[in-house]
Structure 1
Amino acid sequence: MRTSGSNLYFAEIIGNFNQGGDGRVANHLACGLEHAGARATCISLRRGGNARNEDGPQESLDLGSRRRIVGSLIAFGRLVRFIRRARPSVLHVHGQQSLVVAALAIIGLRNRPQFWFTWHNSEGVFDAMGLRGWLMRWAVRRCDMIFGASRSIVDRMRATLGNFPRIEVFRNGVPVMEPTTGMQADEPVICWCGRIVPSKDPRAFIRAAAVLNREGLRFHAVLAGDSPAHLGWFMDETRALAAELGLADIVEFPGWVDDVAALIRRSAIGVQTSHTEGLSMTLLEQMMAGLAVVATDVGDTSIAVEDGKSGYVIPAKDDTALVDRLRRLLEDPRHRTQIGAAARQRAIAEFSLASMARQAREAYQVIAVQRKQAGEAQPPGPGQHVAGEQG
């Protein structure tokens, strides 16, 4: 339950409630902030989906429109009215889709909220060209704080933005979930979750599964996720590879899974084979459920997973290492149970919603002090009236 005594109000801005990783992070952060005693609203600027679930914030708003041509203008007007009426302490934009609209919405406010931006995607960091690229850079320089989901993303932003003073890593967090029930199964489930796209390299897992199957090890593999329309051919070829390698009865392709937590909780081992990541939400969810994880050393994976203790970290594109770590976990149920238990303890301690909320509250205090020293007007508490500004 929400505790009392805090006037902080965070508005978490996303493109839409169906947009995947960015939306999940915003939703999780809003929930964590509410449990920490702050008020939080998750806001979509494009119509689509619904933010509400058992782990979602108490308040979510869809400011978008189904009218494509004027949709951005409608969302902009509604966002301006929301900011003037609700007076959030922080306007926190997740992902590039909503950045420019949010930056325009705070122009002219005498007591504007702190303006934050987080880049989650490990690909294409500030690589937009032309007018779009110029608008992105204009908007990001209006920010009080810029976050990246990993050290590598932060390094790339610093290289692009030069001397921007406040760029930091913001660690993802996930809800605490019930521990797995599948650790001691006769045929343990190995789960791989993500977009079926080349950069996630699901075929590395399929090749490893084929080797382990030929060795006589018993397991069931699930590759959960789908491909965008333009990469439908990649999904087809990935399924064909599994059939070609004789895995039709071992590997399952359920497509998009709404309840990923249920899949994770019946699994024993989690796998990430990506060539590029920030900090995978699915990896953290697998750790939170106590799975023994094997993940490629990309982004901040090695920050989350302590190699050999709370999981295994392997080089990207190293099929031999992937097979070796999976073999060890399949052959030794006691070892994978120990690894899974350590993973769960680490996730609860370092990558929970409470950890996310603590980062956000600490960042707010730092910026508040800096703005006070610079003589900038601070945003009022929620619902407080400011003379000269209409609600």
Structure 2
Amino acid sequence: MLQTVWAELDLSALRHNLAQVRACAPRARVMAMLKADAYGHGLLTCARALAEEADGIAVARLDEAERLRNELPHMPLLLTASALDDEALRWCAAHAVAITLHDHSVLERILRMADTPPLWLKFNSGMNRLGFSPSQFKDVARRLCDKGVHGVMMSHFACADEPLNPLTQAQIAAFRQAHAEHLPDWPASMANSAGVIAHPDSHADWVRPGIMLYGSSPIAGADLDLRPVMTLKARILGFQDVAAGQSVGYGGDWVASRPSRIATVGIGYGDGYPRRIAPSAQAWVNGQRVPLAGRVSMDMLALDVTAAGDVAVGEVVTLWGRNLPVDEVAAHAGTISYELLCRVKGRVQRVIRD
């Protein structure tokens, strides 16, 4: 049956991008970030694809960790941002799922446990989101070491995607100092995708790539041979021939400057395509770029295909992916590729290409 809208997932691209991570950080182990349903690509689909490639997989929520542990009983797993009560801590301990320890209330419960889950201890090096501050860290590290706990020391960058921002080097220096003074025998982890690409002095023992696994670079202009994993596609539903001066779509914002052929495409904000997107945004059809025409609707959008040659009902349109980088579409929408990928809805069928 003909599909109206779908997302093609190229799993060979996912594995290729992980290989690019290893090329950038050859001495580090790779904790693949598959949070938020693998950035909208499908948690289990991506986990299976990377099961032989990654050294570990990280997710944000406990239910994600539960699904992964059922699927991959021996894969090292890390839980990064989940509320943890005693039951959750016991489950993590029993199933060897590492937790991110960043809070005194969880610390106290950990210290009372006979069998603790694996720990990644978070140091607040300057992002001020989660983690123990430099003034707290010495005591926390001492108490864990007194209990005989051994884990990984971690932190997270605030501005690593801005290569000249001085905060990044300040964070690296603060992290290195705390690591050397308090937990020198623990493995260390700082680098996200931007750290992998732009800050080799942050690679340490573990890197935690996210967005670059899916083919998007957090560093503008970086030439990394990353390949898009998701290509979002939809079909043309019909055409309208409009005269100069006629408008298209809700609000009548777009007005034809010449006689124009308008294609209506079966994708809209109900599928996750951004409603608020600049008039300069484009799509790919018949081997070329064409501009959007008017506002994005819930289930449809319009393209000006006047100069696109011979296109027909049912023709495939690429909204982002191969031929049209998601980073470019995100810039037209005033957002980031992370958000666009994560917001692709469940009604958009995922089609695996491998």
**TM-score after normalising by structure 1:** 0.33
TM score, norm. by length of structure 2: 0.36
Which structure has the bigger radius of gyration?
A: 2
The structure in which a higher percent of residues are helix is: 1
Larger fraction in strand: 2
